[in-house]
């Protein structure tokens, strides 16, 4: 029979303990042991320590619940990992602040700066922290920055371009800061150097304007209007005439007629070697448009191939004044102009001798 003198030692133990015989049968357990075995859910990590007793074949088993220690160790490792990540983030953030061309500012709900840092401060001649304690709402009164801060303090995220120093541009994001109750308690302002981008955009706009001016010059050269005499303008045409160029030429022609108060318009085709159907139609449209403004159109310098094309198209040329050369066109216009002047002088002289004829003078002048 086994010696059971160790039973009281086990049954009254304050820690989890069990007494086993040589065959592994449980002879006695402590209340703490029973509670450990009956725990729900089961404890995830329990360590057992087995000790031989003086009595032959008896073993004392002591259980240690390491579950809480394991959980604390896991939480500790997670906390350490999080702190390392925070340290790395802060280190990276510090490097960005120290080397990137940015300015990071924190402004409280009253508009007072509580932080101002960043490499970008060098670009505007400021030191880190120089703006701390400054009420930005008061300092920026009457400027766009004042409005941006008010909008951000009202809960709106604002993006704006500013020029804090001559030739230095920053793109700034004003973002509202909220407390644990979701109430706005300040603004974070992140300004990034945008000088190169803004200058590139300005240069792009200037280049676009130059291209537009050059294009306008090219259009003017493609349809040059020459004032060859009082009330006489000439449009020398060189090269092919497509729809787009014809529209530009017509616009220049009609503008010059009004501006120069012209009564005669010469379209000189000396520089045009050949034309197709559409070109001929464009030329006739220009002459008809000039006629609607009371201007007599003259077509000069048409090459034989042009004349053949116009005839082959079956166009009615009865109302079209055509001459061989630009010299002939100018001579005809000057002769017609002198004849009109002589007729007007005769009309005035006749009207002075016969006052009753004055009523008919104005209609005749308009002819």
pLDDT of residue 91: 87
d(CA 141, CA 355): 76
Size of the chain, expressed as the number of residues it contains: 367
Residue range(s) of every CATH 3.30.750.24 domain in the chain:
223-361
Are 173 and 158 in contact by the 8 Å Cβ rule? The answer is yes
CATH 3.30.450.20 maps onto the chain at 100-197
Give the N- to C-terminal CA distance of the chain in Å, as an integer.
152
For the domain made up of 223-361, give the CATH fold: Transcription Regulator spoIIAA (3.30.750)
Which DSSP letter does residue 42 get?
P
The predicted structure's pLDDT at residue 107: 95
Superfamily of domain 100-197 in the CATH hierarchy: PAS domain (3.30.450.20)
pLDDT values of the chain reduced to their tens digit, one per residue, 367 residues: 455 666 787 888 888 999 888 788 888 899 989 898 888 888 888 888 888 887 777 888 999 888 888 888 888 899 999 999 988 888 888 888 888 999 999 999 999 999 999 999 999 999 999 999 999 999 999 999 999 999 999 999 999 999 999 999 999 999 999 999 999 999 999 999 999 999 999 999 999 898 888 777 766 666 688 899 999 999 998 877 777 788 888 888 999 999 999 999 999 988 887 777 777 888 888 888 999 999 999 999 888 887 787 777 776 666 678 899 999 999 999 999 898 888 888 878 777 776 655 555 444 444 4
- Residue 246 CA to residue 225 CA, distance in Å, equals 14
Q: How many CA atoms within 13 Å lie on the side-chain side of 129?
A: 0
Q: What's the predicted TM-score (pTM) here?
A: 0.49
């Amino acid at each position: 029979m086994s010696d059971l003198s160790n039973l009281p030692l086990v049954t009254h133990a304050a820690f989890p303990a069990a007494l086993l015989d040589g065959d592994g049968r449980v002879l006695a357990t402590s209340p703490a042991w029973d509670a450990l075995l009956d725990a729900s859910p089961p404890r995830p990590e329990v360590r057992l320590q087995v000790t031989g007793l003086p009595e032959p074949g008896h073993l004392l088993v002591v259980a240690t619940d390491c579950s809480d220690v394991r959980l604390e160790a896991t939480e500790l490792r997670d906390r350490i990992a999080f702190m390392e990540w925070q340290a790395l983030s802060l280190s990276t953030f510090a490097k960005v602040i120290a080397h990137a061309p940015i300015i990071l500012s924190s402004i409280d709900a009253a508009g007072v700066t509580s932080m101002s840092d960043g490499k970008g401060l060098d670009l505007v001649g400021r030191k880190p922290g120089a703006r701390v304690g400054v009420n930005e709402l008061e300092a920026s009164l009457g400027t766009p920055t004042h409005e941006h801060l008010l909008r951000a303090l009202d809960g709106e995220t604002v993006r704006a371009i500013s020029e804090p120093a001559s030739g230095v541009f920053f793109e700034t994001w004003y973002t509202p800061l909220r407390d644990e109750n979701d109430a706005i308690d300040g603004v974070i302002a992140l300004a990034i150097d945008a000088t190169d981008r803004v200058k590139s955009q300005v240069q792009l706009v200037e280049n676009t304007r130059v291209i537009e001016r050059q294009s306008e010059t090219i259009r003017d050269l493609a349809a040059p209007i020459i004032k060859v005499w009082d009330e006489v303008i000439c449009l020398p045409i060189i090269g092919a005439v497509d729809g787009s160029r014809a529209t530009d030429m017509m616009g220049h022609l009609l503008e010059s007629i009004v501006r120069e108060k012209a009564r005669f318009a010469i379209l000189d085709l000396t520089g045009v070697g050949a034309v197709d159907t559409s070109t001929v139609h464009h030329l006739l449209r220009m002459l008809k448009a000039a006629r609607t403004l009371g201007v007599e159109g003259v077509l000069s310098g048409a090459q034989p191939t042009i004349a053949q094309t116009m005839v082959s198209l079956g166009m009615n040329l009865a109302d079209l004044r055509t001459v061989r050369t630009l010299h002939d066109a100018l001579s005809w216009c000057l002769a017609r102009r002198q004849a009109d002047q002589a007729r007007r002088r005769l009309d005035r002289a006749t009207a002075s001798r016969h006052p009753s004829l004055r009523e008919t003078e104005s209609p005749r002048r308009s002819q």
